[in-house]
């Protein structure tokens, strides 16, 4: 699925009627199967942008073009699992038609096989994130959106989840947008990097990451990060 984004402006009004512009002039396209990574300061408008792209928010100026019948998988910052349903049922409710073998394979890659019958309250944050990811992938999405999937995970766990996502993305052509604060994750997973300014978020840079993901060595990753360090504004 190809995605064309041209958002002129997104404004929130608070209870006092004051208007806050959150997004301004964000235009980019993602080719089918491309992985775009969005990096920007906390509170700049990244989640707001993702909600517009998935069609959860229509109240903005501009346009978003994508195939109307595209299947969308979204992983929110909070895992948002149904607490009274098992891991397996959380996934099956979202993807009732998922093939049993495919579901087992997905759970195996995400190291969730032993947790099928557990309830969300029994899971650590890292596990719950993986369940949310399994749920999003079980629908075989054409467009996958991941909002800070590595936040609040320790480094080793985040690295493992990142590698699991990389494996899963090789599996199917999935146009993907990932939000992360971590440049290492961005450079390891992305085909293109979108750097946003602080609020109102504007697109500061849209950078193709070369060489392609599959051919990117650790030395390449270090070199790209070096490049980026000069562009990325300090945001703490």
Ligand X SMILES: Nc1ncnc2c1ncn2[C@@H]1O[C@H](COP(=O)(O)OP(=O)(O)O)[C@@H](O)[C@H]1O
Q: Interface residues with Mg ion (CB under 5 A)? A: 46-47
Q: Choose between 75 and 209: whose C-beta lies nearer to Mg ion.
A: 75
Helix (H) / strand (E) element for 164: namely: helix 155-171
Q: Rank residues 48 and 90 by Cβ distance to ligand X and give the closer one.
A: 48
When binding is defined by CB under 6 A, the residue of 7, 22, 106, 158 that contacts ligand X is 22
Residues of 131-148 as b/e, b for ≥16 C-beta within 10 angstroms? Answer: bbbbbbbbbbbbbbbbbb
**47 near ligand X (CB under 6 A):** yes
Calpha distance 186→38 (Å, rounded): 8
Q: Of 132, 134, 87, whose CA–CA distance to 110 is shortest? A: 134
44 binds, among Mg ion, ligand X, none (CB under 5 to 8 A by kind): ligand X
Residue 161 engages ligand X in binding (rule: CB under 6 A) = no
Tally Cβ neighbours within 10 Å of residue 180. 22
Q: Which 8-state DSSP code applies to residue 233?
A: P
Instruction: Please tell me whether residue 26 binds ligand X under the rule CB under 6 A.
Output: no
Tell me whether residue 164 or residue 197 sits nearer to ligand X (CB atom). 197
Q: Which is nearer to ligand X, 44 or 169 (CB)?
A: 44
Residues forming contacts to ligand X in the complex (CB under 6 A) are: 12, 22, 40, 42-48, 199
């Amino acid at each position: 699925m190809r995605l064309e984004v041209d958002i002129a402006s997104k404004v929130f009004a608070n209870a006092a009627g004051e208007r806050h512009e959150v997004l301004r002039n964000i235009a980019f396209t993602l080719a089918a199967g491309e992985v775009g990574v969005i990096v920007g300061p906390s509170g700049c408008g990244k989640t707001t942008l993702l909600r517009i792209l998935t069609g959860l928010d229509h109240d903005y100026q501009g346009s978003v073009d994508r195939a109307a019948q595209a299947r969308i998988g979204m992983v929110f910052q909070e895992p948002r699992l149904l607490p009274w349903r098992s891991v397996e049922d959380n996934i099956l409710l979202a993807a009732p038609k998922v093939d049993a073998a495919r579901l087992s394979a997905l759970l195996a890659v995400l190291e969730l096989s032993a947790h099928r019958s557990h309830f969300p309250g029994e899971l650590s944050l890292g596990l719950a994130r993986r369940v949310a990811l399994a749920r999003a992938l079980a629908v075989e999405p054409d467009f996958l959106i991941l909002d800070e999937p590595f936040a609040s995970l320790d480094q080793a766990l985040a690295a493992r989840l990142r590698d699991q996502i990389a494996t899963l993305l090789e599996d199917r052509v999935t146009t993907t947008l990932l939000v992360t604060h971590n440049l290492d994750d961005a450079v390891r997973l992305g085909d293109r990097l979108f750097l946003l300014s602080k609020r109102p978020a504007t697109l500061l840079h849209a950078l193709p990451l070369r060489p392609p993901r599959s051919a990117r060595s650790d030395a390449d990753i270090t070199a790209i990060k070096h490049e980026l360090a000069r562009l990325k504004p300090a945001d703490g």
